[in-house]
Structure 1
Amino acid sequence: MPNKRISVCEPFLNGNETKYVMDAVSTGWISSSGSYVTKFEEAFSGYCGVKHGVAVCNGTVALHLALAALGIGKGDEVIIPSFTMIATAFAVCYVGAMPVFVDADKDTWNIDVTKIEEKITSRTKAIIPVHIFGNPCDMDAIVDIAKRHNLFIVEDAAEAHGATYHGHKVGSFSDIACFSFFANKNVTTGEGGMCVTDDERYDDLLRYYKNVCFPTHGPRNYLHDDIGFNYRMSNIHAAIGLAQTEKADDYKKMRMTNHMLYKKHLADVSGIIFQKDEEESENVGWMNTIIVDPDKYGRTSDELIAHLKDNNIDTRLLFKSMHVQPALKKYGCDCSGEYPVTDLLSENGFYLPSASNLNEEDIAHICGVIHEFAR
């Protein structure tokens, strides 16, 4: 057993990050004004194949900002997956709307598109598909549903930088798409986020609301017509983001390679289940996640997590379902009904180490520990 600890996911910074940050610092442009913000917005939105990018301070506020720009508010409903990070639901709550939950698909773990329409009512205004762990949702089906019911689509692409669906990047299938650049993401700024859109009107509204509703055109007179938010990204964070975007395809390739290596090394271990990758999509492997079937593996997921920890291998538990969240029950969400796939994932799944620069020797070691612990 190696002495070193293998963390679940560390950032990989091997480009122009230091150069660009030092430039921002040395010139004094450290706040939200500065050329790196604009350069990052243009570079990352271009990477997604979308015309406009609006940089913000994290992925959660990107979702809030998107919903605000679309005019979604009190009395409205927004359909989200039950299996997601709670920020997706919180963003809906921030605008005063009601999140409505749909169970996960048993194979892809994304929102089950066959169950969306049964949750649509006269109050439904939008769908937020979440590309879970970097695996693109069935966007053809979601776009079709949205068109037939006149609904907005806000992609939660926080985990899916560079992932493609039918040859097109995620983030390009919606009215507004939202990304996170937290430290463990494929592209990181430490803390940060971005909204991307092809619609010039939404681009203008996003910029307006993120900057406490200062006019986007003309001088500032310090009279504010609407209630806005201070969601700006600093020039320093954007400098890191630009450097990361320059190497985004490299990091994507590394994550996808690691994803394939895990599947290769664990292929003959009964009871270890991976997310299904669709043939015409690219799962960018943000987090290599497994579900443990205790009947076939012979151990529970908790036992395996403890064993990996004993071997200096970090893991993380998966999201808890939205329908069991105390905060959402207090808010008034309908938490009745059953979400069996989400419950299965939450109870039996966890992340394996997934950093971009994880090497095959480490992956082989991790898989060997998993293999020998089976019974």
Structure 2
Amino acid sequence: MPSEAVTTLQPVPMLDFARQFSQIREEILAAVESVCTSQRFILGPEVSSFERAAAEACSVAHGIGCASGTDALWLALAAAHIGDSTEAVPAATSDAVITSPFSFFATASAILRAGAKPIFADIEPLTFNLSAASVQTAIEANPHLNVKAVLPVHLYGQCADWDSFTALQRNHPGLLLIEDAAQAFGATWNGAPAGSLGDAACFSFYPTKNLSAIGDAGLVTTKSPTLAERASMLRAHGMRRRYFHDEIGWNSRLDTIQAAVLEIKLKHLPAWNQQRRDLAARYNQLFLAAGLLSSSGAIADGLVLPYTHPRAQHVFHQYVIRAPRRDELREFLTQRKIGTEVYYPLPLHLQESLASLGYRAGDFPESERAAAEVLALPMYPELREDEQQTVVEAIRSFYA
């Protein structure tokens, strides 16, 4: 198809929530009506039911629902006594948590909210996930800090290299591993689900996620009864008994309606995640057939497709390519009403609000390179094959 004809291609939205809702409309409306009839809107029975179902799906003993994925990160850190931000008068602390600069802002802001210091380490270029080797370097470079935890992010729906992180933990007794699994419900590493790999894990159910609420919602999972009990207490103003506040907690309860919707969707999630993997495989085939792929692994030679580690089962929350002239390509696709997104255009260490951490451009070259090259394409279970063909044809036309 000549490039001037691309304007006749059909629009392809980045996401289309209506398609999923139309398939489960009656189930969702019945669940919402049941909650409205019961009038149990806060921590109703549907919350504990979803918590049990989600914990079982993650192969852990405990799930603690909360108001958002951001709150889940804070709850996990605070429950583990990182930063001591729950004290009435916070003491000076040198607690630190090492994480990725190539992530959503909440990964770092939750560490600060907990009263600890975020320390960044660079990513692996193939998976975009935090590099355990870079974490080891960061630990050695900050001997004056008490590194309490590492917070790897399972970015785009693929688990970080957990074998390397467990080896790191063995070499540093007392170091906690907390998963930022916000984008990875249903992903696995060596067959073990995200949410069961670390000492605790944090999920987001923001509407764009592969397991999504109809608003904000989050979850902490853990095998530890101590962490679970403390997280449950902290999400409800520090109460173990009503109106008796043992600590300074927060209001981060999971709405009953959100829990009811999430439990409905959780039943469908394995099939939806498989559809995402099938769509990713089809994208790969279409790009290969279009002759758009880099032979060297560098974008100077063409597109670089998502890499799946052989020990990981990816859920493709996002299908993210590396693209030459990324911003020009995105504008070209936007003009043709083909949705895309950049996750994330500016690494955290270069964000203005985190300038006090003292990082500069060039400190994390792999993260900075990824920020300049990544482009997320339309990806949701209901995406049609003809729509994928439209996306690939438009991209082929741009580079032609």
Matched, 1:287 2:318: yes
Among 347, 372, 388, which residue is 1:347 paired with? 372
- 1:336: how far off? 6.9
Q: Pick one of 309, 312, 315 that aligns with 1:278.
A: 309
- Residue 8, structure 1, aligned to residue 11, structure 2: no
Query: Within the alignment, does 1:144 sit opposite 2:167 as a pair?
Result: yes
Q: CA deviation at 1:2?
A: 6.0
Indicate the residue corresponding to 2:348 in structure 1: 322
User: Aligned AA for 1:209?
Assistant: L
Q: What are the equivalent positions in structure 2 for 1:261-272 lying under 5 Å apart?
A: 261-267=282-288, 268-270=291-293, 271-272=302-303
Count of aligned residue pairs for this structure pair: 363
1:163 maps to a residue whose letter is: A
Q: Summarize the alignment of residues 1-375 of structure 1 with structure 2, pairs less than 5 Å apart.
A: 5-11=11-17, 12-13=20-21, 14-15=23-24, 16-29=27-40, 31-73=41-83, 74-120=93-139, 121=143, 122-149=145-172, 150-190=174-214, 191-215=216-240, 219-220=241-242, 222-267=243-288, 268-270=291-293, 271-292=302-323, 294=324, 300-319=325-344, 320-330=346-356, 332-335=357-360, 338-375=363-400
Give 1:151's aligned amino acid.
Answer: L
Kept in 1: contact 2:350–2:361 (CA 8 A): no
Structure 1: gaps of 5 or more residues = 295-299
> Secondary structure of the equivalent of 1:316?
coil
- Give CA deviations for 1:128-175 in whole Å, capped at 9, x if unaligned: 010110111110110111232121111000011101111111111111
Structure 1 residue 3: Cα displacement:
6.9
- The Cα shift of 1:290 comes to 1.0
Distance 1:136 1:151 in 2: 19
CA contact (8 A) 1:75 1:96 kept: no
Distance 1:243 1:368 in 2: 36
**Which segments of 5 or more consecutive residues in structure 2 lack a partner in the other structure?**
1-6, 84-92, 294-301
User: Which has the larger displacement, 332-341 or 126-135?
Assistant: 332-341
Quick one: structure 1 residues 223 and 28, their matched pair in 2 at CA, closer, same or farther if it must change by over 3 Å? closer
Q: Deviations over 1:214-234 (max 9, x none)?
A: 11xxx42x2312100000011
Q: Distance between the aligned counterparts of 1:177 and 1:308, measured in 2?
A: 36
- CA RMSD, Structure 1 to Structure 2 (Å): 1.5
Q: TM-score, normalised by structure 2?
A: 0.87
In 1, distance between residues paired with 2:235 and 2:340? Answer: 35
| Cα displacement (A) at 1:334 | 4.2
After TM superposition, give the deviation of residue 123 of structure 1 in Å: 1.2
Q: Contact 2:205–2:218 at 8 Å: present in 1 too?
A: yes
For 2:59, the aligned partner's letter is G
Say if 1:70 and 1:96 are closer, same or farther in 2 by CA, change over 3 A.
Answer: same
Instruction: Provide Cα deviations, 1:292-317, integer angstroms capped at 9, x if missing partner.
Output: 1x3xxxxx111110111111111111
Worse overlay, 352-361 or 5-14: 5-14
CA distance in 2, matches of 1:25, 1:370: 47
The one-letter amino acid of 1:316's match is E
Query: 1-side partners of 2:233 and 2:10: how far apart?
Result: 48
Per the alignment, do residues 26 and 343 of structure 1 end up closer, same or farther by CA in structure 2, a change over 3 Å counting? Answer: same
Shift of 1:256: 1.1
Q: Deviations over 1:103-133 (max 9, x none)?
A: 1111111111221111113511000010110
Q: Give the 3-state SS of the residue equivalent to 2:33 in structure 1.
A: helix
Taking the aligned partners of 2:15 and 2:182, their CA distance within structure 1 comes to 15
Give the drift of 1:335: 4.6
Q: What letter is aligned with 1:280? A: R
- Given that residues 10 and 390 in structure 2 are in contact (C-alpha distance below 8 angstroms), is that contact kept between their aligned partners in structure 1? no
8 Å Cα contact 2:99-2:108 kept in structure 1: yes
The equivalent of 1:297 in structure 2 is none
| Structure-1 residue corresponding to 2:297 | none
Deviates more, 1:180-189 or 1:272-281: 272-281
